[in-house]
Structure 1
Amino acid sequence: MNKPNDLAISATDLNDIDSNASHDNHFNSILNARLSRRNWLRGSAVTAATAVMGSMGLSACGGGSDAVAVTPTPTPIPEKLLAFTAVPKSLADVVSVPAGYTATALYALGDSLRAATPAYKNDGSDTDFDNRAGDHHDGMEYYGLSAAGAPLASGAERGLLAMNHEATTDEKLSSHFLHVNGGTTTLPRPAAEVDKEVAVHGLSVVEVKKTGSAWATVNDSAFNRRVTPLTDIEIAGPVRGNALVVTKYSPTGTKTRGTINNCGTGKSPWGSYLSGEENWAGYFTRSSTDNAARGDKSVVSLNRYGRSQGGASRHGWETGGSDDKYARWNLSKIGASANGSDDYRNELNGMGYIVEMDPYDKTKAIRKRTALGRYAHESAAFSVPTVGQQLAVYMGDDSRNEYIYKFVTTAVWAAADANPADRIATGDKYLDSGKLYVAKLAADGTGQWIELAMSNALIQAYSAYKFADLADVLVNARLAADAVGATKMDRPEWCSVNPANGEIYYTLTNNSNRTVNPSGSSQLAPDSANPRAYTDMKGSSAQNGNPNGHIIRFKEGTGAAAATSFTWDVYLFGAESGADASKINLSNLTADQDFSSPDGLAFSPYTGICWIQTDDGAYTDVTNCMMLAAIPGKVGDGAKSTLNYATAAGGNLAVDTFIGKKPTADTLKRFLVGPVGSEITGISETPDGKTMFINIQHPGENTALANIGDPSKYTSQWPANAGYGAGKRPRSATIVITKNDGGRIGS
């Protein structure tokens, strides 16, 4: 998620490239059949706004008889959502929000969490990042506190922000804004530089408090903490103790060291924090002779997860010295043991999970929930909890041509677990036992959830990789999904559940490998769920495939969260407003609505608004990345459409797809545009809906290393140019947004 477009990926960001060479069915055998879908229009749309208003129980006032004088009671005026004026597209190095709103920087890279840690100088000389905010603020959740500082879900003026710190702004190995002169760009890397770069990754928890109308972080709060790639973390679930996670650090396979490249988040119904490990493979290296040294099926797994032998690591951290904390970044089989207990050949198998943390309690262990599978995780979205029913956790694998997943708990939801005495123990109950499924979408707008388990005959018979047990299936969930023929998607990013009707929305950010005339195993023809293949011009540069992305949504079939079937349609297609409406701008977006590369996605539990955030590289010649507000309908509120493509052989490729109801000016509009070079990500609100926190990630990321000493050549100077902090180097930061009249955000 820390790269704006898969068209310009660094060679070391290996999880953003296509490592899926399986021959799964992408509807290619049924595209020309053009199957009709019956009964597609199933009633009028019920918007989230209607659902929210209906839940308030508003009704008109009745009158009296002619004989009795009655003082009329005024009818309450329902809150109008999306009443703000749309923010125009912008290339300015500022955060733009609608008139009547205020956005203020709150918590930036390097801000101290402890009184003993000095203020951030922002000149590359700062140290002690174990007690400072990390870099590349990403997914984020808010946890309320009472005035006395006790956990309180409804606390709206004091709380905790738990967030991911995904990566660093870097070029040629070095994270250049972190170091005085940009850092060392050759190997070996100095230990001091490596230690700083490692420490800015991971998670942080910071207390925030409202005084009057202003929000601020609470320095030295007892809740403040950092979790880094060196923090001890337990392996939980079916993979715990398995031979696949045995390392020199944990010969018993029960723990691992840290978490890295954390992207999207989730908030469990029992109040814990979930963090997704995304593009972790590129931080590691393997020797050019490692395949022969291994001589087993682990080579298949490593290749499938984007870590082929001889590939350089992203930062060269393995060269920082002889200490074990540097050695762990080298995956080569160099020890003499049969099980890997004397080296880090299995280290990669300990990365790529959903990580659970109790934001309120530092004494509770942090756990990797392996039952949810191992891949490039984004967010984790829960089904609407219903007493006596199982829960589902919806997830996506953010790489080109990867899959959509869900996990269904064995345990059924109990109301008492909404406020448990031990949040991590409750996580054990729900997240360590259940079934993992992958999605297979059909061209008629239906789909199936296919269980990834040893009982599945397709997994047993898979010839490319022989699975040993359930732990092997979970560690190698991508290979298991290949085996069952799951549908390859256009980079599944965040997902969220509509609280009004339980439908699930997934952002599919972009895919340069969609083409009408595929050549090679990594290129795919358009299909019903990923129907576009076109050329988008950025200046004089042609961007091919699906450069602008789309948002797909699912409606579960019989069985609610535990359903094994669903229906789907495409909620919105990203596009420039002036693009061809017959093949590109299929949602008829206007200049107040157009966007590219949807990434972050979250439904407000308070207003029902669907917030859409972008991480774009295709449209950035026209506008910086943005956030939009939407009032969605429901699956099936639109119609079927057919896209026709001319093939190289002179034929016609007809692709049926299903497009949601076209947005109007009242149901979709741009709410925010960020600074130059930034991604808009991470979103959370206070329980009264009156304060929103979002993250501005990697402003100025395209600044060349050669210009590190000249602020005038930075592509961004935000947030310093907004009056926040010392120096002029750009910094990832959390901002707080409030409405000047004290109302709810989005109204």
Structure 2
Amino acid sequence: MTDVTETPFGYTDGDVDTNHSTATTLNELAEQRYSRRTLLRGSSAIVAATMGGSLVAACDNNDVGSDAPPTVAAGTAVTTASGRMVTLTGTATDDKQIATIAWTQPSGPLITLSNPNSNTVSFMAPVVSAATDFRFRFAAIDSKGQTSSAETIVTVNPPALGFTAVAKNKLDVVTVPAGYTVSVINRTGDPIAAGVAAYKNDGTDTNFAQRIGDHGDALYWYGLSATGTPDATSSTRGLLVQNHENINDQYLHVAGPTTVNGARPESEAQKEIDCHGVSVTEVAEGANRAWSVKQDSSFNRRITPATPMAFNGPAKGSNLLKTAFSPTGVAGRGTINNCANGTTPWGTALTCEENWAGYFRRSGDNANRSAKELTALSRYGVSSSTGSYGWSTVVAADSANTLFRRWDARAGTGAATSDFRNEPNQFGWVVEIDPYAPASTPRKRTALGRMGHEGCWPGAFVVGKKPAWYMGDDSRREYIYKFVSATAWVAADANPTDRLAIGDKYMDSGTLYVARFAADGTGTWLPLVYGQNGLDGSNAAYPFADQADVLVNARLAADKLGATPMDRPEWTAVNPVTGEIYVTLTNNNAAGRPLNGTDPANPRHYNDPKGGTAQYGNPNGHIIRMKEADTEATSFTWDIYGFGAGADLDKTNINLSSLDDSNDFSSPDGLVFARATHAGGQAKPMLWLQTDDGAYTDVTNCMMLAAQPGTVGDGGARTITNTGSGGATATQATRIGAAPGANLRRFLVGPVECEITGVDSTPDGRTLFVGIQHPGEGGTPAAPTSNWPDSQAGGTVAKTIRPRSAVVVITKNDGGVVGL
């Protein structure tokens, strides 16, 4: 046998073990199998289990250096609040190579860290109900396998407002706190269909049936998955459903609206009509958190006053709904003056028809009307001799086109089906829309009553309990209502294949109630049911024929029951944690609320002069709230959460909420609680409060505030002294909530002459959508009084640029929940 001697020459790629120490090598550490739970709870080898691909950079333990382990630091302790972003930065030094670093969480509820194998990690502070400590460990391994670690503590407090209040101002921009970014989408006239030209904004644009309408109002986000299916959890792609309440007609035409020989031109009227209604647009978050609208999305849709509608519920087919267009009273056309909104857990949008009465021409036909008809028309204010914008005067090129003639509600001598005398009865309803089905026909839910609808917000959906929706009727001395379904909630109905069919199940049968407030802080829901409490043919003021008659004339029914007249009930909102109901009462004047006409729920009468002009009554408005045992309850307790007032007004009798320069407001309108899907809507939910003001605009533009309210009963009884003109006084007992203090502060101030209306967020709370309505409404085409949204970008803007309503998208620069 021949001996073989190894040559001393050759090549090695280093894939041999030359370190004969007993220390564990990095390669061996990488081969060890540690569970995720072991990683998070800590052990002597937790770092190795977190390295992942970073171990590729590690070399064998053949470096030269001392045997000292790395020196590491995890930074100082941090105190924060739920929904805020936390950043931790660790440091590691060694006279050898640092092979690997990692952040882990040895204890506490599990938190997902971004880039745990880097010096800096971040996370959103989770929701807690009390101060909670979270311990984090930063560790490093050097090239000899030596490990060192250090820990830091993050103390998380319950959700709290986390911004400095925005100062009152009269700038022509949307002003938000430091640390936030504003962008603009869905401006009036923006195209929402393929091939529609960009908006020129000079009065020559047409085809508003495929453009964003005017006067954007209430809005709501409906999520979409990556594949375009409904996804209530999606925060990066979704559908924005927005109301379009009214128009600035002066800016829609070249030199404002015109009339020729007493008639409006058809093209102008068509444009104005199409600017009303609702829009559905697909929006998505792109690179660097930039949001955009997909112009050619198949989901994009305009619902206008001409869109086919179906009537559902007890009034369907009623003689009161029959017209020349719908002789059977089961169909209608369109929706108008859409203001506040609501939603359902099965993924549909509710839009509310508010000030519809003024659009109709109706005078001079009393001889052709019954006494009952005249009573109803008067009670709803259908009395104009021209109708808003004069649409009924249009002579259509197509004589069969009744889209203009329908606005003439004068009764002829023939049957009701020969004219449009009943057309006003086709409006004033809550309309349900399926945003995910652009070809579907919206349904008017008559069981919820006919009025100047402001809001239709749902209460809690509890399995086995009948759900309820809460509504205001926006006129001075009108009422607050709720509708309770006849059907108890079934959880499976939240994910139906036919969403409008689920609406049929829950919203076509039930009981409509109206609120009566007592002086002792209690209240009663009174049922509007035919045959009960005088709601029948025996009622002298208005003899009701049936339940359809009660619902079509809900105001008259509420009058009979003795409901409490309120100071313009506007939006309704429900606290997602407590279930308490909040209603904005925008304002009232001396005619609607005289000195001797106050009551505990509408207690103030005072003067807040503007520019030397007296404003007696309740010019700044207030917010009432109610607490029920559950949605089926017929009683409640109540108090007044907040009183609008300037900071300088008397805190004893007027500024009862002790507002200061950081949170004073006037004429509350929009009102929405944060979604329960993120930190802002949990523990102590955040409330967004918006204003539509004329009483305080000598001081500031309209605004949006954020609040974290307490609960009904957190204040107490109070007796105030009211003041009338001429120095007369009167006392009034009421019930007020605790002063909000720092738990109410101004988040946003809008541009010149705007209303802030409509707000919702993505489910994660990191993106907020806010409606800016009618900026520069007092200007002319030649001399606009605002140039927003063009002015938002800063720089020089031509003074002739016409303003437009739009939606602003607000994000927090650090990625946290907006407002916290």
Q: Same fold (TM over 0.5)?
A: yes
Aligned position for 2:448: 372
Matched, 1:576 2:646: yes
Give, in angstroms, the shift of residue 298 of structure 1.
Answer: 1.0
On the 8 A contact 1:507/1:601 being kept in 2, the answer is yes
On the 8 A contact 1:282/1:314 being kept in 2, the answer is yes
Aligned position for 1:40: none
Matched, 1:738 2:806: no
Give, in angstroms, the shift of residue 191 of structure 1.
Answer: 0.7
Aligned position for 2:390: 316
Q: Counterparts in 2 of 1:137-152, with a 5 A limit?
A: 137-152=216-231
**Among 355, 362, 380, which residue is 1:305 paired with?**
380
Could you say what secondary structure the match of 2:631 adopts? helix
Inter-CA distance 258–646: structure 2 relative to 1 (3 Å threshold): closer
Aligned position for 2:254: 180
**Equivalent-residue separation in structure 1 for 2:638 and 2:591 (angstroms):** 20
Matched, 1:538 2:610: yes
Inter-CA distance 454–650: structure 2 relative to 1 (3 Å threshold): same
Could you say what secondary structure the match of 2:487 adopts? strand
Aligned position for 1:208: 283
**Among 82, 85, 91, which residue is 2:164 paired with?**
85
Aligned position for 1:586: 656
Aligned sequence identity (%): 52
Aligned position for 2:210: 131
What whole-Å deviation, never above 9, does each CA across 1:193-243 have from its counterpart, x for those lacking one?
Answer: 101100100011000011121000001100001010001000110000111
What whole-Å deviation, never above 9, does each CA across 1:26-79 have from its counterpart, x for those lacking one?
Answer: xxxxxxxxxxxxxxxxxxxxx999xx976679744799xxxxxx9877345236
Give, in angstroms, the shift of residue 500 of structure 1.
Answer: 1.3
Instruction: Select the structure with the greater relative contact order (CA < 8 A; seq sep ≥ 6).
Output: 1
**Equivalent-residue separation in structure 1 for 2:702 and 2:228 (angstroms):** 36
Counterpart AA for 1:719: P
On the 8 A contact 1:640/1:656 being kept in 2, the answer is yes
Q: Counterparts in 2 of 1:431-442, with a 5 A limit?
A: 431-442=507-518
Matched, 1:680 2:740: no
Q: Counterparts in 2 of 1:471-550, with a 5 A limit?
A: 471-513=548-590, 525-550=597-622
**Equivalent-residue separation in structure 2 for 1:406 and 1:429 (angstroms):** 17
What whole-Å deviation, never above 9, does each CA across 1:262-299 have from its counterpart, x for those lacking one?
Answer: 000111111100000000010001132x1111134111
**Among 428, 444, 447, which residue is 2:504 paired with?**
428
Could you say what secondary structure the match of 1:561 adopts? coil
What whole-Å deviation, never above 9, does each CA across 1:385-420 have from its counterpart, x for those lacking one?
Answer: 111101010000000000000000011111111111
**Equivalent-residue separation in structure 1 for 2:493 and 2:672 (angstroms):** 23
What whole-Å deviation, never above 9, does each CA across 1:131-158 have from its counterpart, x for those lacking one?
Answer: 0000000010100111222111011001
Inter-CA distance 191–106: structure 2 relative to 1 (3 Å threshold): same
On the 8 A contact 1:165/1:202 being kept in 2, the answer is yes
Counterpart AA for 1:736: V
Aligned position for 1:362: 438
Q: What is the count of residue pairs matched by the alignment?
A: 672
On the 8 A contact 1:517/1:648 being kept in 2, the answer is no
Aligned position for 2:48: none
**Equivalent-residue separation in structure 2 for 1:617 and 1:286 (angstroms):** 29
Structure 2 unpaired stretches of 5+: 1-80, 84-124, 137-148
**Equivalent-residue separation in structure 1 for 2:413 and 2:218 (angstroms):** 38
Inter-CA distance 594–543: structure 2 relative to 1 (3 Å threshold): same
Output the TM-score relative to the length of structure 2. 0.79
On the 8 A contact 2:82/2:159 being kept in 1, the answer is no
Counterpart AA for 2:392: E
**Equivalent-residue separation in structure 1 for 2:372 and 2:704 (angstroms):** 44
Inter-CA distance 145–57: structure 2 relative to 1 (3 Å threshold): farther
Counterpart AA for 2:548: A
What whole-Å deviation, never above 9, does each CA across 1:145-185 have from its counterpart, x for those lacking one?
Answer: 1122211101100100001000012xxxxx11000011215
**Equivalent-residue separation in structure 2 for 1:669 and 1:652 (angstroms):** 32
On the 8 A contact 1:677/1:716 being kept in 2, the answer is yes
What whole-Å deviation, never above 9, does each CA across 1:81-136 have from its counterpart, x for those lacking one?
Answer: 21111000000111000000011111100000112110000000000111000000
Aligned position for 2:781: 708
What whole-Å deviation, never above 9, does each CA across 1:411-455 have from its counterpart, x for those lacking one?
Answer: 111111111111100000000000000000011111000000113
Inter-CA distance 253–644: structure 2 relative to 1 (3 Å threshold): same
**Among 227, 240, 254, which residue is 1:161 paired with?**
240
Give, in angstroms, the shift of residue 648 of structure 1.
Answer: 9.1
Counterpart AA for 2:690: Q
Deviates more, 1:720-729 or 1:372-381: 720-729
**Equivalent-residue separation in structure 2 for 1:468 and 1:286 (angstroms):** 24
Inter-CA distance 80–437: structure 2 relative to 1 (3 Å threshold): closer
**Equivalent-residue separation in structure 2 for 1:652 and 1:130 (angstroms):** 54
Aligned position for 1:628: 705
Structure 1 unpaired stretches of 5+: 1-46, 64-69, 170-174, 519-523
**Equivalent-residue separation in structure 2 for 1:649 and 1:740 (angstroms):** 53
On the 8 A contact 2:477/2:592 being kept in 1, the answer is no
Give, in angstroms, the shift of residue 635 of structure 1.
Answer: 0.1
Give, in angstroms, the shift of residue 312 of structure 1.
Answer: 2.6
Give, in angstroms, the shift of residue 654 of structure 1.
Answer: 2.4
Matched, 1:450 2:523: no
On the 8 A contact 1:245/1:350 being kept in 2, the answer is yes
**Among 110, 114, 121, which residue is 2:193 paired with?**
114
On the 8 A contact 1:266/1:275 being kept in 2, the answer is yes
**Which structure's CA Rg is the greater one?**
2
Inter-CA distance 459–78: structure 2 relative to 1 (3 Å threshold): same
On the 8 A contact 1:374/1:475 being kept in 2, the answer is yes
**Among 646, 664, 669, which residue is 1:599 paired with?**
669
